[in-house]
Structure 1
């Protein structure tokens, strides 16, 4: 039973480690009028040192630039066995690997 708990914990780390992240460096075009924040994917201005989540993507604006990390792995990023499948909940920005035969039970990938 303890081994199963360890495997489930490691599986959670695998899912978390597969998040796709990008960084866009801040570009200063006018040194006399430097930016005071970032512009997000929707064109909205965000102040430096702010963080927000939109559509399961976590954003962070710093004086260095804008970073974004997808909180959900794609099915191609998670290895699953023939008995397992990836379940994604976009409302809660969560995912887990479960048995195909009983999606209430988590299982480990091959």
Structure 2
């Protein structure tokens, strides 16, 4: 039942941060219980581990692999006179004025 609470908490974070999350449930194959989670690159991560991959905060639990983007959705709302600039190398985002991209504007 605790995993349901964790899942609901993660869903709440998705709404608040306007970012993308994924969850992959662990599957038992050939009656061999998994010893961890395998990421998209084929690397295995032990249970209760956390890492960052492609601007995603990832974690592995006995329930499965969970990853949430550190960046807001590119369609996130910003004030009308601003635009969202994503830096995928630094995993950062900021809203800047459309007429002066060197000046940050405050979100609503």
TM-score range, shorter chain: 0.7 to 0.9
Deviation at 1:93, TM superposition (A): 0.5
Taking structure 2 as the reference length, what is the TM-score of the superposition?
Answer: 0.74
Match of 1:24 in 2: 24
Structure 1 position 96 matched with structure 2 position 89: no
The structure with the largest alpha-carbon Rg is: 1
Number of aligned residues: 95
Q: How do residues 45-56 of structure 1 correspond to structure 2 at under 5 angstroms?
A: 45-56=44-55
Q: What is the DSSP-based 3-state SS (H/G/I as helix, E as strand, rest coil) of the residue aligned with 1:75? A: coil
Q: Tell me how large the CA RMSD over aligned residues is.
A: 2.3
Taking structure 1 as the reference length, what is the TM-score of the superposition?
Answer: 0.73
Structure 1 position 43 matched with structure 2 position 45: no
Q: Which runs of 5+ in 1 are unaligned?
A: 1-15
Provide the C-alpha distance between the structure 1 equivalents of 2:73 and 2:105, rounded to a whole number of angstroms.
17
